Structure 1
Amino acid sequence: MPLFEIETNAHIIITWAEDEQAAKQVVDEAYPSDELIRMTKRPRDSWVISKGALGLSTPTVDPCGVARDCLSKSSGDKVHAIRLYRQETGSDLETARKVIESNMVMGW
């Protein structure tokens, strides 16, 4: 039985079904108010989700290297460097502030 990936305006559904009509029926029964956006018949019978895409992996990133790069891009402007650091790493404001200020003291 084929595996279908179905995207609606509110959900992404992975289901087995005999054909596209049966897959659409699964969505209609489970989420009748959802609007179907996309339906894809998967080429294999398994589904894989990247942990990195979900933010669950622990990449080896040198926070000081990223901070120095952000300070360089911002020409030493601390507030702008903090914004850049948050964008690069997804860190919260307090963590970004500590890392940037620590690297400013070290003379980035």
Structure 2
Amino acid sequence: MPLFEVETESHIIITWADDDDAALEVVADAYPQDEVVRLTRRPRDTWVISKGVLGLTTKNLDPCMTARDCLSRSAGDKVNAIRLYRMETGSDLENARRAIESNMVMGW
């Protein structure tokens, strides 16, 4: 089964599906309010996220409970979670983005 990358206005979804229509169905089920911006069939059946690109090159990656709480309250919406994190911690945009994205990578 092919691996698809589906980008919406708010999310990037990685899913296995039989074809383009089935991949779009997965998105419609999970995020019915989102409009699909891009649909890409990945050339391989694996997905890799580079920790270096996300700025996570340290060995000690501990989940941040505040970031995880913000992600939970925002239902996984990264932009909203960053906004919540900034409001709760007083962090600047870059540090809030790193906190939220690193916790997303760790499977909040």
TM band (smaller chain): 0.5 to 0.7
Between the aligned partners of 1:12 and 1:54, the Cα distance in structure 2 is: 15
TM-score of the superposed pair, with normalisation by structure 1:
0.53
**Match of residue 40 from structure 2:** 40
User: 1:23-48, CA deviations, whole angstroms, 9 ceiling, x for partnerless residues?
Assistant: 00000010000010001000000000
Partner residue, 2:102: none
Give the SS at the match of 1:23.
helix
Aligned to 1:18: 18
Equivalent AA in structure 2 for residue 46 of structure 1? T
Separation in structure 1 between the aligned mates of residue 7 and residue 46 of structure 2, nearest angstrom = 17
| Partner AA of 1:9 in structure 2 | E
Structure number with greater Rg is 1
Q: In 1, Cα distance between the equivalents of 2:42 and 2:18?
A: 13
Give the drift of 1:12: 0.4
Q: How does 1:1-108 map to 2 (within 5 A)?
A: 1-58=1-58
User: Shift in Å at residue 52 of structure 1?
Assistant: 1.0
* Separation in 2, partners of 1:52, 1:21: 33
CA distance, structure 2, for counterparts of residue 25 and residue 53 of structure 1 = 30
The TM-score with structure 2 as length reference comes to 0.53
RMSD: 1.5
4+ runs of 1 displaced by more than 2 Å?
none
Runs of 5+ unmatched residues, structure 1: 59-89, 92-108
Q: CA deviation at 1:54?
A: 1.0
Q: Which runs of 5+ in 2 are unaligned?
A: 59-93, 96-108
